[in-house]
């Protein structure tokens, strides 16, 4: 059945973002997974005719100025960690609607010296005042989703600055203060309104203009978004970044900055909510064990819960291993049918089982176990879409309720690689576009708590992603590093765009591994997204031409302008090439 054209992701997708689980590691040392023994030569030789520049070190990010900030760290001898962190801070300035220090993030890091893979969780937490029924009305029904996103109720304790602290302490080479120089310069000297920023201001004007500071910064006196090309400055953010630069990361979580953040939440003009300075001072980023598994001889390592990215991407891939996608190629509707069916199965498991592993038992290993993914893959009919899909019973699964939360999509992904071979794959978010709409010290606060399931129980059973004090909401973020059969890093990938992050990441991996695409080609390839609603085809793309064929195979099909924004890099010879989604404003910047 083919449904009418949908105008946006939120209208098209009837599923929700989520996460995946894993046991927490001891806080004293980073958790890591041994990568296969490193090979001495790269799997992809330089000089390929794809037009990609080969660099000794590079950054790929969603905004050229943020990529330049990371490149500046590499030029000064910084590590991939330094480059990624400078990029994160710069995105707070130039991509305020999607990312920054007011939110949280997840990181996968390859340490070339040890050959190990690390996972770092900087996801926001619910304040101590949060309760399981905080998004439930007096009749026991879930509150309206969109109305709950704005204001204080949705704000989680930001985790990105603690993530920065832990990553810099373990893998940074440059002084802490150096990471802030490019962002401070941008905030003081200014940057231009891009078409994307202008579009986000126009589409979400009510939220973007919630506070007087935001109205004065991004809107004209007539309350219109400032035109494309207008030069913006952010002296409030520049001053605050100088404070963090001089005083260190603790300055974000204590003193006057913490008090101002709390004040913004508890006195919010909409949905004011309790939060205390103790909520901030008690926050910790956590090293966790990466989720790793094999796909056609490659080793895929991603983020464990509370992100669903790692387990869901791996499940999609492993369920497809019995099919010869390479022979079918990207121009076959059958390939996209199979990918859609695998996504549907993986998303069903994600919705039922994934939550914060510090609060619920998540069958992380079971969700990606070879036997389980093989059995799930056997459910895929090569010629016909299943009428419905249900969650399976992976090893270690508990009796959890199946519950779907509406999707959303802000976020920014970026990657960095240095001359020593370290690689960072980092996804950062404030959740929805413009987050909660609340601002403090020149940056936007997240609305991450609406990533929780609004109903704590369903049919008498607990919901894995229910709200709890101190708990981290599940996420769709999927920073990923893929190792070649030789053991070296083959490529790193990730994306922005709510639950489509998982679909974009899986598609890019299939593009490189199965369809022999460069990282840039794999990112730019057309996109399909399938969760628990219709199969959504990227409007105007090659895959949209298969709508009738997929409909004849039993799929409910819709087209939409999906929020696509992926970034990646790949090894080439002894250097690196980068990819940035041509549908966005991303860029690759590197050193020769």
Number of C-beta neighbours around residue 404 at 10 A: 17
Q: Annotated binding residue at 75? A: no
Rounded to whole angstroms, the Cα distance separating 48 from 73 reads 28
Q: Annotated binding residue at 310? A: no
Vertex 432, ends 282 and 424: CA angle to 5°?
65
Active-site hit among 117, 194, 411, 429: 411
Question: Residue 255: CB partners within 8 Å, gap ≥ 6?
Answer: none
Q: Annotated binding residue at 215? A: no
Our answer to whether residue 411 is catalytic in this structure is yes
Q: Annotated binding residue at 361? A: no
> Of 153, 22, 126, which is closest to residue 468 (Cα–Cα)?
126
Rounded to whole angstroms, the Cα distance separating 403 from 562 reads 23
Are 144 and 454 within 8 A, CB to CB?
no
Q: Annotated binding residue at 498? A: yes
Rounded to whole angstroms, the Cα distance separating 542 from 553 reads 18
List residues bridging with 84 in a β-sheet: none
Rounded to whole angstroms, the Cα distance separating 292 from 303 reads 9
556 phi/psi in degrees, rounded to 5: -85, 120
- Sign (positive/negative) of CA torsion 135, 137, 140, 143? negative
Rounded to whole angstroms, the Cα distance separating 147 from 447 reads 11
Q: What is the per-residue DSSP string for 80-137?
A: HHHHHHHHHHHHHHH-TTT-STTSEEEEEEEETTTTEEEEEEE--B--TT--TTTTB-
Binding residues: 123, 451, 475-476, 498
Query: Mind telling me the catalytic residues?
Result: 411
Binding residues for L-glutamate: 123, 451, 475-476, 498
């Amino acid at each position: 059945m083919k449904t009418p054209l949908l105008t946006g992701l939120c209208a098209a997708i009837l599923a929700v973002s989520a996460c995946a689980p894993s046991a927490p590691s001891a806080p004293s040392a980073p958790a890591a997974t041994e990568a296969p023994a490193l090979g001495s030569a790269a799997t992809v030789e330089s000089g390929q005719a794809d037009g990609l520049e080969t660099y000794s070190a590079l950054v790929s990010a969603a905004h050229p100025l943020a990529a330049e900030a990371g490149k500046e760290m590499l030029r000064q001898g910084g590590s991939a960690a330094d480059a990624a962190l400078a990029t994160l801070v710069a995105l707070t300035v130039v991509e305020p609607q999607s990312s920054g220090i007011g939110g949280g993030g997840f990181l996968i890091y390859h340490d070339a010296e040890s050959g190990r893979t690390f996972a770092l969780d900087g996801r926001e937490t619910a304040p101590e005042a949060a309760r399981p029924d905080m998004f439930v009305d007096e009749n026991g029904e879930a509150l309206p989703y969109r109305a709950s996103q704005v204001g204080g109720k949705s704000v989680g304790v930001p985790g990105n600055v603690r993530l920065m602290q832990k990553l810099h302490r373990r893998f940074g080479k440059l002084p802490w203060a150096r990471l802030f120089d490019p962002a401070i310069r941008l905030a003081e000297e200014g940057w231009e309104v891009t078409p994307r920023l202008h579009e986000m201001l126009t589409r979400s004007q009510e939220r973007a203009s919630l506070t007087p500071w935001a109205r004065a910064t991004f809107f004209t006196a007539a309350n219109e978004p400032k035109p494309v090309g207008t030069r913006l400055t952010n002296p409030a953010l520049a001053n605050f970044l100088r404070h963090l630069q001089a005083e260190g990361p603790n300055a974000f979580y204590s003193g006057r900055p913490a008090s101002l953040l709390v004040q913004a939440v508890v006195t919010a003009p909409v949905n004011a909510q309790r939060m205390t300075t103790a909520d901030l001072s008690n926050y910790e980023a956590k090293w966790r064990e990466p989720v790793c598994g094999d796909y056609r001889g490659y080793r895929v390592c991603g983020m464990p819960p509370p992100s669903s990215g790692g387990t869901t991407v791996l499940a999609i891939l492993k369920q497809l291993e019995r099919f010869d996608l390479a022979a079918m190629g990207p121009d076959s509707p059958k390939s996209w049918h199979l990918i859609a069916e695998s996504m549907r199965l993986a998303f069903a498991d994600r919705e039922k089982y994934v939550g914060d592993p510090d609060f619920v038992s998540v069958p992380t290993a079971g969700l990606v176990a070879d036997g389980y993914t093989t059995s799930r893959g056997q459910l895929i009919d090569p010629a016909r879409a299943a009428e419905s899909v249900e969650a399976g019973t992976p090893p270690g699964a508990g009796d959890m309720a199946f519950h779907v939360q509406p999707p959303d999509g802000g976020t920014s992904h970026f990657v960095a690689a240095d001359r020593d071979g370290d690689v960072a794959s980092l996804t950062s978010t404030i959740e929805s576009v413009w987050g909660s709409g609340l601002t403090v010290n020149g940056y936007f606060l997240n609305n991450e708590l609406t990533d929780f399931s609004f109903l704590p129980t369903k049919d008498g059973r607990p919901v894995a992603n229910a709200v709890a004090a101190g708990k981290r909401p599940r996420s769709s973020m999927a920073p990923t590093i893929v190792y070649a059969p030789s053991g070296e890093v083959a490529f790193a990938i990730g994306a922005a765009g709510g639950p489509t992050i998982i679909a974009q990441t899986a598609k890019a991996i299939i593009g490189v591994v199965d369809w022999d695409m460069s990282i840039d080609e794999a990112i730019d390839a057309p996109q399909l997204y399938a969760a628990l609603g219709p199969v959504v085809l990227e409007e105007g793309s090659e895959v949209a031409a298969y709508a009738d064929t997929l409909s004849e195979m039993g799929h409910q099909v819709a087209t939409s302008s999906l929020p696509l924004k992926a970034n990646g890099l790949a090894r080439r010879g002894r250097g690196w090439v980068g990819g940035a989604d041509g549908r966005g404003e991303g860029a690759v910047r590197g050193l020769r």
